[in-house]
Structure 1
């Protein structure tokens, strides 16, 4: 039925300007705006605080500068805007940092306030202290949530005997990370034997990375190198690396300090090579999978 009185002129947003309401817009450098009152058109050069108020400086196409008080009264592409101060230079970095803080060093979503889980029977085994320290630094938060303990083997020369001693089963799985696991190496022969140990084979997963030592799994750029150097035969590998980097290596304490410097260059998974990342993730999945 027709409304004999016509449409209510006060219904809806009757105060809305023809060009729309002004929206807030950061006065970023280079933004071209028009001052509605004077018609001045110019690009934002800078924003500063003067006399308790923010002032925006606009440069027109002739290179002339003029200052205006920040706030309403501007147009951008014909639309009304309210100019507001730009974000501080470090705001984006801070936001990125806060976002990163919600992730663990391994890239997993952080679980805030979670207590460490009671340790599982399953274990993750690595060759030595340096491997264990690197895994702890990058995956430590994840392992505590999952209740996975990392144990050191002090080498894998007798890995088959370790498996027989542990006697892994469905509730006590073994995930083993091996250095320099490449075809034809001593490590490959040791692992082949370990994988055939019965009746435990189905409860053991042995994987490895191709690097001579876990040091090499750290991206060389983190230490100012394009690539890890090739150490001549007959030279102890870690000594050769320290010599290349100009670090002392006469004593075991020197080598330990060198490792601390390398470990200190690692903040997260992004500092490690994918050949190590994939293998550690595979082992964690194996020892935490349901029966």
Structure 2
């Protein structure tokens, strides 16, 4: 206001110098107002992180998050789901963009047996030592669960197709410190013919061990094949045939596909079989 008298009449204090407003940076070169954008930080939505949705006032801790939304739980246990949008939340009183946390570095992979998987595995040249099993189903089961381990160690598994002449077969193999033999048998319980055969061939370079089940199928947990328990098969009836008849599985070949096809890892097997196989692998590899 150029007229001092008029300025005084209007209430201006003429003793205080007027300050001009600094508009530097407030307008662009074209005369439009410049927009100053504040950078909103990105905050990983780790479980337990407490944030607030300013729109609803809901404040809670992160309990679940994916690329689309986050679930918050307040101190009363109530949960609400919110979309992940830029600057959509308040963290410590300031706007923040929640993002999915980066995945932690993965540890070494595991094989079906639970051992550390060897990346880019090239099978080792086969050792002279061997593991024998009673039949093709036993061999298939070992390959499914321990195949990776066996290739790492260079151990070949061979089916015997029965134990009727185990002593002669062992003698023909010619066990030695550098040529050990491990034998896995079914129904290894006190007084059984399998136990007597095992005792007859036992030696420093021969280990016969096994599990108490009548057949290796029974070493698969019942829940894995969708049953509550394995049926009791009367003496004198072929066990696989009796099981398939009781469960309506058709022929033993049909049952084999069902049982062996259901096994994915050691978790599907009973501990007695797992321990026996691990013992045999250790035995035939220790002399290398």
2:229 paired with 1:227: yes
Counterpart Cα distance in 1 of 2:191 and 2:120: 47
Structure 2, unaligned runs of 5 or more: 1-39
Aligned residues: 245
Structure 1 counterpart of 2:122, from 104, 109, 115: 115
Structure 2 counterpart of 1:281, from 278, 285, 288: 278
The answer to whether the Cα contact below 8 Å between 1:123 and 1:173 also exists between their aligned partners in 2 is yes
Over 3 Å counting, the alpha-carbon distance change for 1:264 and 1:79 in structure 2 is farther
TM-score (norm 2): 0.72
Over 3 Å counting, the alpha-carbon distance change for 1:243 and 1:58 in structure 2 is closer
Over 3 Å counting, the alpha-carbon distance change for 1:35 and 1:273 in structure 2 is closer
The aligned residue for residue 9 of structure 1 is none
Counterpart Cα distance in 1 of 2:208 and 2:66: 62
1:27 deviates by: 8.9
TM-score (norm 1): 0.71
The answer to whether the Cα contact below 8 Å between 1:179 and 1:209 also exists between their aligned partners in 2 is yes
1:269 deviates by: 0.6
The answer to whether the Cα contact below 8 Å between 1:105 and 1:268 also exists between their aligned partners in 2 is yes
The aligned residue for residue 214 of structure 2 is 212
Counterpart Cα distance in 1 of 2:63 and 2:200: 71
Q: Deviations over 1:21-42 (max 9, x none)?
A: 96614398x9863356x78334
Counterpart Cα distance in 2 of 1:48 and 1:59: 15
Counterpart Cα distance in 2 of 1:135 and 1:59: 47
Q: Deviations over 1:205-235 (max 9, x none)?
A: 1101001000001100011112111112232
> Larger Rg: 1 or 2?
2
1:118 deviates by: 0.5
Structure 1, unaligned runs of 5 or more: 1-20, 196-200, 250-254
1:67 deviates by: 7.8
Taking the TM superposition and a 5 Å limit, the aligned residue runs for 1:37-48 are 40-42=57-59
Moved more, 227-236 or 173-182: 227-236
Over 3 Å counting, the alpha-carbon distance change for 1:35 and 1:230 in structure 2 is closer
Counterpart Cα distance in 1 of 2:182 and 2:124: 19
The aligned residue for residue 255 of structure 2 is 258
Structure 1 counterpart of 2:86, from 64, 67, 71: 71
1:248 deviates by: 1.2
